[in-house]
Structure 1
Amino acid sequence: MLQAMDKHGNTITLFTNTYREIVNMKKNAQSFFCPICKGAVFIRSGKKVIPHFAHYSNPNCHAVEEGEGLYHERGKMLLFNWLIKQNLAVELESYIKDIKQRPDLLLHIGKKRIAIEYQCATISRELLKARTEGYRSVGIYPLWILGANQLKRKSAHKLRINTFVQSFIHQFSAQLSPRIFFFCPVANQFIIAHDIYMTSKQLAITTFINSKLNQFSLLNLFDHKLFTSENLYTLWEREKLIFRTKQRHKLSIQQLQWHKWLYSKNVYLHNLPSIIYLPIQSQLFMNKPLWEWQSSFVLEKLALLQTGETINIDSYKRIPKVNTTSEFPLTCNTFNPLYEYMLLLKQLQMFSQQSAITFRKQTDIYFPKTIDEAVIADRHLLHKLKQQKISMFLPK
C-alpha cells in the first residue's frame, strides 16, 4: 500500500517524501498503521523500489491484494500524480466501508465519484463483475485501466484479445464504440484500443491511440476514434483473403463440424457468398465465430428468400444472445449482431429496410464457382463498402 497512518492519525503517502526523509523515518523507528485494519505496517523502500507500506502479518485485511508489485505501484503513483496535476480531487487507496472495497484511485467530480482500478494481474471475470457491481451499488462509476503488461499488440492495427482482456471492454453509451484502456508505467504512456472488430476468436483489428501521460487528460479517455470506411475495409480485405485461401492443415473440432455442415449444404469454402465473413463490431460479445453464424444465417435464411420477400430478424433464433451485463459488465446491453449485419447488406443494396426488424430482399445472392471468382467478388464487395460511411450499430 502507498499510504498508512502515523500514531497521530495523519495520512502518510511515502512517495511524496524525499529519499532522505524516508531514511530518517526508518531510523527513528516511527510507528505506522494500516488505515483499514489498524494493524502495524512497516516501510519498504530502496533505490529500485517504489516506497510503500507492508503488513507485518494480517492476510485477512482488505488492503492486502494479490498481484501488486513494483509495476502496479509505479503505475498507480503516476496516475495519481497525473490527476492531481489536472487539479482534480482524487484519493489514493480510499477504503469504501459499505462495500469493503478499496479502489486504487477514487475521483470526485462534482457530485459524481469514479473508482479507477489499475489492473496488472489476471483476475476472474466473476471478481471483475463483483467489484464493478459493488461500486455501482453505492453510486460510484467504475473505470478499469489495464497494465500494458496485458497488451498483446500484433501490428499497427492488430490486437490479440484473450478472454481476460475482453472482460475489460468499456462502452459508455450506445453511440460510442467499445474500447480497452492500457497504461504503461515504464513508457509513461496510455494506449487505448478503439473501434474493435474481431477477425477470429482472439484476434482483432482496431485503431490505437498512443499518448504520453503529460500530453493526455482525463477527458481524452472518452475521445472517440473510429476507422474510416476506407481504412476498415482495406484492412478487412486482407483478412478476407486469408479466410479464403489459408491452408488449413489442422482444423479445430468447431471448424471441422462447420466444414462438414457446409458439405451437407453442397457448399465449399471457395464458393461461399462474399457477404459471409464481414466485420461486425458486436462480434466482440459473441461466442460463435463470424464465419459460422453468418454462413448459417445466409445459407439457411437469406439465400432461400425470393427477391421481394421479407425477413423478420427476430424470428431467427440460431444467433447466440450474449448477456453483456454478466459477461461484459463494463458495457451497455445494446448489441444485436443480426441487425448490424443487415445494415451492411442494406448498404450493399441487397436488402431494403422495412421496419426496425424487417428487411426486404432486393437482389439474388451470388455464389462464386471458383476460388479466383470468389477473390474477385470479395474485392468488389469490399470496394463498395469502402465508398460508404460506416453505420455505427445502435440498439433497435
Structure 2
Amino acid sequence: MLVAHDENQQLIILQRQFSRDELQVLKKQHQFFCPQCNEPLQLKIGQIRIPHFAHLQHSECDNLFSERESEAHLLGKQQLYEWFERLELAPILEPYLPQIQQRPDLLITYQKRLFAIEFQCSPLPLELFTARTKGYLDAEITPIWIVQNSFERLKDNGVQKIKINYTMSQYLLHNQGQCYLMTYDVKQEMFFYMSNLTHLKKTQYLGQVHRLPLKQQQFPFLIPSKISRQKFEQFFLQMLQFRDDYMHPRLLLSKRGVNDRFLFALYELRLTVNQLPIFIGIPVRNANAFDEFCVEWQVQLFYFLKCHELTPQTMNANAIPYFFEWASFAMTMERKKEVTYYLSLLKRLTIQSATDHLEKKHLIEVLYDELVAIG
C-alpha cells in the first residue's frame, strides 16, 4: 500500500524520490490512516522491501491488499504512477471505488474517459479476472491489465516459440485481427510485446518479440505493428519446422497403433511424416480453439473428405458437425469456425485433395492475406 492520509487528511504518496532519512522523519512527525477504512496504518521502512503502509494486526478493513503485495507489485505501481505523472495524466494511485467495491492500482482520465490500470503480479483465477473486468465496464471504466513479465528465456527480438500458460492467456489482446500480449518488467523498466501470436498447441505459440523501454511508451499504450510480408515468410518457415519437429515423435511415441486415428488417416491418405503437403498443418484464424496441433485435425479432415467423396469445394457447412462426430472431436462454436476458415482457405487455394501440389510462394501470399492483412 503506497497511499495514506495523515492526521490532517493530507494525502501521502510514497514515491521513489523519498530517501529513507526523509521517510524516517515523516514517520516520526505524522500519524497515518487508511483512505478506505480510516484505521491507523504503520509506515514500514525496512531494508529489504520497498517502504509501504500496512494495517495494524487484526484490522477489520475489508481490503487488506497491502500485506499481500509483492516487491514487484509495489515497485511497478510506483514506476507506472511516476510515468503517468510525466505524461501529465494526473494519475490517482490506489483509489477505492465504492460503487463497485474495487481498488485499481491506478486510475487515469484520458480524453474524458476513465481507465483503470491493473498491474498483475500473481496468478488471478479466470472467474475473478472476469468479475473485476465486468465491474469496471459496468461503471463505464475501461480496464487495462498489465502483466508482470515472467518470460526469462525470450530472445531479444525476432520470431520465436513462446509458452503462454492458460492463466496468462486471459490477458491476450486483440486488435484488427492481431493477437498480442503486453508484459512489464520492473527490474528493467521495460515493456515486452509478444505480437502476431499464432497458436501451435496447448500453451505453445509462435510470435514476434520486441522490447520497449518505459520512457518510450505512450498512452494509449502502443499497439504493435503487424508483421511484414517479408517477415511472415520467416514466420511460415518456422511454422513448417515446428510441424516437422512435431511429426516424428508423434509417430514414434504413439501407443495406440492402428487405433490411432491420426496415424491411420495418414496411412489411408498415403502420406508420410517426411512428405506432408505444405497446406496441411498450417495456422488459420481462430487457431487456439483446438488444444491439439492443427495438423491432427487437418489430416483427419482430408481423410473425412476422401471417405465421403467430397472436396473442400463440395463440402458444405452442414457436414462440419458430422465431421466432428466422425473424427471424435468435441465440437464447439470456436472449433467449428476454425474448420470453416480452413475449408475456405483450401477453396481459395483450389485444393481438391491431399495429393495436390501447391507452390510455397502462393501459399505464403494467401496465408498472409488471411492471417495478417485482415482487419
Provide the aligned C-alpha RMSD in A: 3.3
Tell me the residue number matched to 1:320: 331
Deviation at 1:152, TM superposition (A): 5.9
Deviation at 1:196, TM superposition (A): 0.8
Counterparts of 1:181-196 in structure 2, within 5 Å, are 181-196=182-197
Compared CA separation, residues 63 and 91, structure 1 to 2 (3 A):
farther
Match of 1:300 among 293, 300, 304: 304
Secondary structure of the structure 1 residue equivalent to 2:194: strand
% identity of equivalent residues: 24
- For residues 238 and 263 of structure 1, what CA distance do their matches in structure 2 show? 19
Secondary structure of the structure 1 residue equivalent to 2:211: strand
**Counterpart contact for 1:196–1:281, Cα < 8 Å:** no
Tell me the residue number matched to 2:71: 70
Deviation at 1:147, TM superposition (A): 0.3
Deviation per residue, 1:278-317 (Å, 9 max, x gap): 1124223444442333233332247745569533336412
**Equivalent AA in structure 1 for residue 331 of structure 2:** P
Secondary structure of the structure 1 residue equivalent to 2:21: helix
Please say if 1:365 is aligned against 2:357.
Answer: no
- For residues 246 and 225 of structure 2, what CA distance do their matches in structure 1 show? 30
Secondary structure of the structure 2 residue equivalent to 1:12: strand
Tell me the residue number matched to 1:338: 339
Counterparts of 1:117-136 in structure 2, within 5 Å, are 117-136=118-137
Tell me the residue number matched to 1:237: 240
**Equivalent AA in structure 2 for residue 31 of structure 1:** Q
Deviation at 1:183, TM superposition (A): 0.2
- For residues 199 and 133 of structure 1, what CA distance do their matches in structure 2 show? 30
TM-score with structure 1 length normalisation? 0.79
- For residues 20 and 320 of structure 2, what CA distance do their matches in structure 1 show? 66
Please say if 1:202 is aligned against 2:213.
Answer: no
- For residues 49 and 246 of structure 1, what CA distance do their matches in structure 2 show? 47
Q: Any gaps of 5 or more consecutive residues in structure 2?
A: 325-329
> Which shifted more, 132-141 or 338-347?
338-347
- For residues 64 and 184 of structure 1, what CA distance do their matches in structure 2 show? 21
Tell me the residue number matched to 1:360: none
Deviation at 1:224, TM superposition (A): 3.0
- For residues 258 and 38 of structure 1, what CA distance do their matches in structure 2 show? 65
**Counterpart contact for 1:119–1:147, Cα < 8 Å:** yes
**Counterpart contact for 2:183–2:191, Cα < 8 Å:** yes
Counterparts of 1:57-96 in structure 2, within 5 Å, are 57=57, 58=59, 60-64=61-65, 68-96=69-97
- For residues 138 and 98 of structure 2, what CA distance do their matches in structure 1 show? 13
**Equivalent AA in structure 2 for residue 235 of structure 1:** Q
> Which shifted more, 80-89 or 187-196?
80-89
Number of aligned residue pairs: give it: 359
Secondary structure of the structure 2 residue equivalent to 1:390: helix
- For residues 236 and 105 of structure 2, what CA distance do their matches in structure 1 show? 40
Compared CA separation, residues 321 and 306, structure 1 to 2 (3 A):
closer
Please say if 1:348 is aligned against 2:349.
Answer: yes
- For residues 275 and 37 of structure 1, what CA distance do their matches in structure 2 show? 62
Which structure has more RCO (C-alpha within 8 Å, separation ≥ 6)?
1
Tell me the residue number matched to 1:372: none
Deviation at 1:340, TM superposition (A): 3.0
Please say if 1:164 is aligned against 2:167.
Answer: yes
Tell me the residue number matched to 1:55: 55
Tell me the residue number matched to 2:103: 102
**Counterpart contact for 1:154–1:160, Cα < 8 Å:** no
Compared CA separation, residues 48 and 197, structure 1 to 2 (3 A):
same
Deviation at 1:91, TM superposition (A): 1.3
**Equivalent AA in structure 1 for residue 161 of structure 2:** K
Please say if 1:384 is aligned against 2:358.
Answer: no
Deviation at 1:384, TM superposition (A): 3.1
Deviation at 1:203, TM superposition (A): 1.2
- For residues 60 and 321 of structure 1, what CA distance do their matches in structure 2 show? 44
**Equivalent AA in structure 2 for residue 3 of structure 1:** V
Counterparts of 1:222-301 in structure 2, within 5 Å, are 222-226=223-227, 228=229, 229-246=232-249, 250-251=253-254, 257-259=260-262, 262=265, 270=273, 274-301=278-305
Compared CA separation, residues 291 and 297, structure 1 to 2 (3 A):
same
Secondary structure of the structure 2 residue equivalent to 1:123: coil
Tell me the residue number matched to 1:35: 35
Tell me the residue number matched to 2:327: none
> Which shifted more, 58-67 or 110-119?
58-67
